[in-house]
Amino acid sequence: MDTSIKNALHKVFEKQLSPSNIQKELAPLLSRGELISIGKDKTLIFQNDPVEYFYLLLAGKVSVVNSVSWGYERVVDYIEPLQILGLVEYLNQIPFYTAYVITETPCTLIRLSAEKFIQIIQSDALLCYHTLVLMGETSQTNMNTSELKSMIHPRDMLGHHLFHLAEDQALPFIVPSTRVHLAEDLHMNLRTLYRYLDKLHQEGYIELNHGKVVINKECFLKMKDRYQQLIL
């Protein structure tokens, strides 16, 4: 196996890539894959499609959206460089993608055959170790998130959710989600949701205008100050 490909992957796992020179440093991977540029609000991965490719995110931001059979969708995560999409499913022996991946901004990615990628990993003991570390970090993150969510006040769960909906959007931003979807997203009943929306409005984090939740620049800056460092 070409050592330059392995070295490029080592840099990915160890996060040793220079942002200004990233495509050049990953040129060996491009010889095995395809460079993709995709615009904002595009579906990169479809839930339940077979895991045939991994996607290495070089630039941009994507959301991971889970959809259930009755048509309800919720954002479960946001992904930024240099994450590998599809790897967790493959390593857990799940043959299909477990969520949609939607571009939040224009994105640049390397698409790699899952089969070829795994062959590269299996040929190098250190890459196998990095993969195990990644799985451990993913499990720990999931546990930490569950524990943290149990400690955060539901009002702040709502505020944090609204803040991330407004990120990278033009202001003022009108929240597109219905009250019902917001309540389902955050696992709270409608009466509780209405109470916390009123509270956020009174505190200046949101505006309520003809039944719409609106986040203007002043509201967004206040939310940013409170919620930007909170990772759920």
Alpha-carbon distance 192 to 177, whole Å? 16
- 195 inside domain: yes
Alpha-carbon distance 37 to 23, whole Å? 12
Band the pLDDT of 42: cuts 50, 70, 90: very high
pLDDT digits (tens, 9 = 90+) for 133-157: 776 666 555 554 444 455 578 888 8
Chain centroid, CA 228 distance in Å = 15
The domain total for the chain is 2
Residue 119 above 60 pLDDT?
yes
Length of the chain: 232
Rg (CA), the chain: 20
Residues 93 and 167 in one domain: no
Residues 52 and 73 in one domain: yes
Residues 160 and 67 in one domain: no
- What lies within 8 Å, CB to CB, of 174 at 6+ separation is 212, 213, 214
> In this structure, are residues 56 and 113 in contact, taking their beta carbons and an 8 Å threshold?
no
Average model confidence (pLDDT) for the chain?
Answer: 84
Upstream peptide bond of 82 is cis (omega within 30 degrees of 0)? yes
Q: How do 173-174 and 212-215 pair as beta strands?
A: antiparallel
Residue 101 above 80 pLDDT?
yes
- What lies within 8 Å, CB to CB, of 60 at 6+ separation is 80, 81, 103, 104, 105, 106, 107, 108
Q: What angle do CA 181, 77, 104 make, to 5 degrees?
A: 85
Residue 71 above 70 pLDDT?
no
Residues 71 and 102 in one domain: yes
Residues 134 and 41 in one domain: yes
Residues 37 and 140 in one domain: yes
Residue 69 above 80 pLDDT?
no
Residues 84 and 126 in one domain: yes
Domain holding 171, by residue range, is 152-227
DSSP 35: E
Residue 173 above 50 pLDDT?
yes
pLDDT of residue 22: 81
Here the tokens at position 173 are 């931003």
Torsion of CA 103, 104, 110, 111, to 10 degrees: -20
Q: Strand ranges (DSSP E) for the chain?
A: 33-38, 43-45, 53-59, 62-67, 73-79, 84-85, 100-103, 107-113, 173-174, 207-209, 212-215
Band the pLDDT of 128: cuts 50, 70, 90: confident
Residues 15 and 115 in one domain: yes
- 111: region left, alpha or beta (phi > 0 left; psi from -120 to 50 alpha): beta
pLDDT of residue 37: 94
- Identify the CATH number of the domain in which residue 126 sits: 2.60.120.10
Residues 174 and 216 in one domain: yes
